[in-house]
Amino acid sequence: MRNMEIIAHRGASAVCPENTMSAFERSLELGATGIETDVQMTSDGRLVLIHDETLSRTGGAEGWVKDTTYDQLRTRDAGSWFHADFTGERIPSLEELFKLVQGKGTLLNLELKNGIVSYKGMEEKVIEAIQDWNLEQQVVLSSFNHASLVRCKRLAPEIRTALLYMEKLYRPYDYAAKLEATGLHPYKLAITQEDVAAALAHGIVTYPFTVNDPAEMQAMIDMGVQGIITDVPDVLASLLTVHAR
């Protein structure tokens, strides 16, 4: 494990349209050691990377991802909502991102977005894809849907899981251990220094989200977290460089 994972939230989403290949590629140029992204499923069962269940905010069309075929979805413009320079950007498939990170040692945090839409068979499909690409060691699966993470663990014990949560939990490391998760991904206001230390003592890492302000990043580093999920990986990378001097 590296000292501190710099995990780009939806790619370099401060400077590129979130969850696009441009955002993922740029995040690596900006010093990210990891990429976080959101997985949804099309009507014909393809895994695609988009945050919302619907296309209206970033997908250049109306409608739900679950009701759109992969071919239809690939005709949509996922870039121009952000800036005209990104016109023509596509909603990526999971495999496109696998191709980018394979062989690079980049940590890949796949968030399963199956809390609002219960995508049938999503866990099986994600795991099969990870195994096909031999990315078991590079991937961490996370979700707010903890039952889904338990299902993933049963299907593939070798793939790490991490619990996403918004509010403080009582002994989150105990809960994580019960679910055989090796990571906690709390909202930044839901962590305490004691929980971070206790989690680590149980072999569980803590990566808070989404931390963009350097002073807040510093506070998290001082709390002893092992990684930070951020829209601005370059800001965290420079903060860590200053530390290393």
Out of 48, 229, 235, 239, the residue judged to bind ligand G3P by CB under 6 A? 229
Restricting to residues 137-176, which ones interact with ligand G3P according to CB under 6 A? 142, 164
Restricting to residues 79-108, which ones interact with ligand G3P according to CB under 6 A? none
Is 185 a residue that touches ligand G3P (CB under 6 A)?
yes
* C-beta closer to ligand G3P: residue 52 or 180: 52
Q: Is 146 a catalytic residue?
A: no
Whether 167 and 212 have beta carbons less than 8 Å apart is answered as no
Is 119 a residue that touches ligand G3P (CB under 6 A)?
no
Q: Please report how close the Cβ of residue 151 comes to ligand G3P at its closest, in angstroms.
A: 18
Quote the DSSP letter at residue 187: B
Q: Which amino acid appears at position 221 of this protein?
A: I
Instruction: Assign 28 to helix, strand or coil.
Output: helix
Spatial separation of the C-alpha atoms in residues 71 and 193, rounded to whole Å: 47
Q: Ramachandran region of residue 170, left (φ > 0), alpha (ψ -120 to 50) or beta?
A: beta
Whether 61 and 74 have beta carbons less than 8 Å apart is answered as no
CA torsion sign for 153, 182, 31, 208 is positive
Is 24 a residue that touches ligand G3P (CB under 6 A)?
no
Which residues contact residue 245 at a Cβ distance below 8 angstroms, ignoring those fewer than 6 apart?
Answer: none
CA torsion sign for 130, 153, 51, 183 is negative
Out of 5, 18, 111, 195, the residue judged to bind Ca ion by CB under 5 A? 111
Is 209 a residue that touches ligand G3P (CB under 6 A)?
yes
142 binds, among ligand G3P, Ca ion, none (CB under 5 to 8 A by kind): ligand G3P
Q: Is 9 a catalytic residue?
A: yes
- Tally of CA atoms within 13 A in the half-sphere of 95 that contains its CB: 7
Q: Please report how close the Cβ of residue 7 comes to ligand G3P at its closest, in angstroms.
A: 8
Out of 30, 32, 48, 51, the residue judged to bind ligand G3P by CB under 6 A? 51
164 binds, among Ca ion, ligand G3P, none (CB under 5 to 8 A by kind): ligand G3P
Contact footprint for ligand G3P (CB under 6 A) = 9, 36, 38, 51, 111, 142, 164, 185, 209-210, 229
Enzyme catalytic residues: 9, 51
